[in-house]
Amino acid sequence: MLANLLELYAHDFSVLADLQLRPDGRYGYPELPLYWREATRFPFLMRVDGHLAGFALVARGSRVSGDPDVWDMAEFFVVRRHRRRGVGAMVAHEIFRRFAGRWELRVMENNLPALAFWSAAVGAFTGAPAEGVFTQVGERRWQVFAFDSAGTAA
């Protein structure tokens, strides 16, 4: 299920990043097996009224600063039918509560809908305006929302 949802995610994302289909007609996600092998990775499926609605991949360790103690929302996807209905924010907030501590959320600079979503979701969770910091990692520019979820009762 998760591999199939990742294909939808990659398809949506391909307008923002240089993702190419492989010869088998799939994008693939090479890191997916690691979510069942490594104790620092956590996969989640989202459901609405019993129907698949998306997924979240959480990992321990920053892809920006390299800090091994930071929580990272590696990937997050809500299928179009369930977007703008509060599903994504509700799931994100539950994940933030479940994995208390320091967080970094990376959003590609050109992904304007995701920037708006994460700014609102983080701001609602922390109770303060969420301001990301732009940073360059490799060839990509990211806006990084950093916050601490410990003790937050959203």
> Which residue stretches of the chain are H helix?
2-13, 34-37, 87-98, 112-126
| pTM exceeds 0.85, yes or no | yes
Residue that is written with structure tokens 């590696």 in the block: 74
Decide if 94 contacts 122 (C-beta within 8 A): no
Q: Give me the pLDDT at residue 153, please.
A: 45
pLDDT (0 to 100) of residue 24? 87
Domain residue ranges of the chain, discontinuous segments joined by +: 2-148
Percent residues over pLDDT 90 in the chain: 60
- Model pLDDT, residue 122: 96
Comparing 3-7, 77-81, 111-115, 134-138, which segment has the lowest mean pLDDT?
A: 134-138
- pLDDT at position 151 over 60: no
Q: Would you say residue 154 has pLDDT above 50?
A: no
CA-closest candidate to residue 125, choices 143, 106, 98, 11: 98
pLDDT digits (tens, 9 = 90+) for 1-58: 999 999 988 888 777 777 887 888 788 888 999 999 999 999 999 999 999 999 999 9
Stretch 110-127: mean pLDDT, rounded? 93
Burial class (CB in 10 A: 0-12, 13-18, 19+), 2: middle
Homologous superfamily of 2-148: Gcn5-related N-acetyltransferase (GNAT) (3.40.630.30)
